[in-house]
Structure 1
């Protein structure tokens, strides 16, 4: 099988700069073959309409050389730990425009980023345009250029992610925004064994409320309202994830001989914890999970948002920290959006003006945000880069 695919591969890349290679080169090969030349499983990651349109344009045009980074290499071998954002930043001035450089074969593959450690990416320039292909360097005469290279032998042989998933993996469960404060009426911990108030892994907790006989439950701290920095409107209720619990025994309510009711709470065992559980924490059925493997892309239409909060009750955030913004699904935000962060201009006094008039300095671009989880009116994003601290009220736009 490998020899057969290798033959197809050589034919595809024998003509440098061919438009057929533009579509099928990078993505088709990366999606069809794993790192060992065998058929790879193809996860169903989302591809937006805007990306499809971009891919069709790439099939005809490619990327202008002016869009390339001045230090873009002619070739690059993917290493373990690389991300699509890292590699796109290496080749492009604006890494969120990666589909224009990489292309997608939409008829053959749904996932546009099955790129593996050990694969070589080759930058092909032709007629003032550039495209990125997977393969070995072949010169104009059709001769393959061979050079020593390392063989990837790491245990993790999966495709590289869009960003460093270890930075957001905990938040794919931890960060939950509810449209209403439904946790207020959810089953809650009323006591721990032997009167304990703070509970750890393996501890038994007693829960009051209606609990369906399902084995696994999630534990959240009481939800806090998220308010719009501009209007003060409540956008949703943020519930901090505490951990998971295993359902052991149902509760009941019975009537004593004197006619008074007696409540016996349900019993659960705490399994995994991000923080200590305690009396008052709420239990819910498991929330839908998202693996976070979304394709980085810019919004297809203008977007104007603001920073609502820094996750974890911080006052300011920097690179690799999580923030919430006041736009969600209803505002056209989707997972994978790359957005620009703007620092509001400070107010200064004009010292030469006899009236000492106040002057608002213009807003300045401060960094980039990668949206990884989207709710109805709120979204969470990872700060990819920032020059100065990001604060509540800072503006967010399309890049």
Structure 2
């Protein structure tokens, strides 16, 4: 049975057309005239096909406020570029579907970014010490790895079966001001809940970057922030900050697309979904003709999107990179269009 909401959307498409005006400057020169949404697509990957600035995709749907959740796309939907009175129009033609059997495509390609989203966490020392902890390994071994089962004590989080395994706390200080920004727990693996009897629970390790041992802590994974309804946007006010570090296992110095970074502004200034522009920091240079020292402006390197915030820092995912980013780069609110 087809839902009333879908009938309404289908009627609008047939009678009035479901279309949005697009500024010619925002469209890619080689944007396809017609595209059918495929399984495995994401809103971001589709936006990259059409727009020079993919994060502007949500703005295309605002012309249709009477349609509930018009930004949701499903496999089989058709997106077309049409010319109407000399202007380019994006038109969506939804495929007839049974809504209860269809899932909209996600905002981000989760298979590429999910590995990073829960790997790092900022946590107070008392909360870390009170977290679930490993008390026993299978077959009385001293070390465990992928596929092994471990016994855990502590209070489980209701409804959560996937946990990260952590060891040690690293204090994060601002490299310039030396302000204490919090503690980061070091992720070393992933485990799934197998059984829970009284206070003792059994977990199976499904990923391990290091050998797991007694005393390691377990923290619940959060749901992905990049669901189908997620929409990026620039912060409402001007801001300026610094990229503190990469958040990959290797803590590499050069950072590229789909890699997470730590920013030095927290939840008072940033929210999940905020777009920030990362810049090479400005520097003083000497004019070879006059000898005068002048300040070279900050140079844009790319865009990142905040996906998790804490009191004093935020985590963001690099979405576009014109050149590699590095710790110490500056960032500001994302560009508005």
Deviation at 1:394, TM superposition (A): 0.9
Q: 2:238 maps to what in 1?
A: 302
Deviation at 1:117, TM superposition (A): 2.4
Q: 1:164 to 1:350 in 2, by over 3 A?
A: same
Q: Which runs of 5+ in 2 are unaligned?
A: 95-100
Deviation at 1:97, TM superposition (A): 2.0
Q: Deviations over 1:5-27 (max 9, x none)?
A: 99977763466xxxx64xxx26x
Q: 1:127 to 1:357 in 2, by over 3 A?
A: same
Distance 1:7 1:267 in 2: 48
Q: 1:115 to 1:250 in 2, by over 3 A?
A: closer
Distance 1:186 1:86 in 2: 38
Distance 2:70 2:14 in 1: 23
Q: 1:6 to 1:212 in 2, by over 3 A?
A: closer
Q: 1:243 maps to what in 2?
A: 190
Distance 1:392 1:326 in 2: 11
Q: Is residue 277 of structure 2 the alignment partner of residue 334 of structure 1? A: no
Distance 1:14 1:112 in 2: 15
Aligned 8 A contact 1:179 1:376 in 2: no
Aligned 8 A contact 1:177 1:238 in 2: yes
Q: 1:12 to 1:239 in 2, by over 3 A?
A: same
Q: Is residue 35 of structure 2 the alignment partner of residue 76 of structure 1? A: yes
Distance 2:141 2:295 in 1: 54
Aligned 8 A contact 1:181 1:223 in 2: no
TM-score scaled to structure 2, two decimals?
Answer: 0.76
Q: Which runs of 5+ in 1 are unaligned?
A: 27-57, 137-155, 252-265
Q: 1:6 to 1:248 in 2, by over 3 A?
A: closer
User: 5 Å matches for 1:1-399?
Assistant: 12-13=12-13, 21=17, 25=18, 62-103=21-62, 105-109=64-68, 111-126=69-84, 130-135=88-93, 158-179=103-124, 182-184=127-129, 186=131, 188-189=133-134, 192=137, 196-201=141-146, 203=148, 205=150, 211-212=154-155, 218-241=164-187, 242-244=189-191, 268-275=202-209, 276-284=211-219, 286-293=220-227, 294-311=230-247, 312=249, 313-331=251-269, 333-353=270-290, 358-397=293-332, 398-399=334-335
Aligned 8 A contact 2:263 2:314 in 1: yes
Aligned length: 320
SS at match of 1:79: coil
Q: Deviations over 1:221-249 (max 9, x none)?
A: 22222333442222222223322365767
Deviation at 1:121, TM superposition (A): 0.9
Distance 1:165 1:218 in 2: 18
Aligned 8 A contact 2:118 2:164 in 1: no
Distance 1:316 1:306 in 2: 15
RMSD: 3.9
Distance 1:89 1:190 in 2: 48
Q: Deviations over 1:196-221 (max 9, x none)?
A: 443124546576xx724789665322
SS at match of 1:93: coil
Q: 1:44 maps to what in 2?
A: none
Q: 1:256 maps to what in 2?
A: none
Q: 1:368 to 1:196 in 2, by over 3 A?
A: same
Aligned 8 A contact 1:319 1:386 in 2: yes
SS at match of 1:200: coil
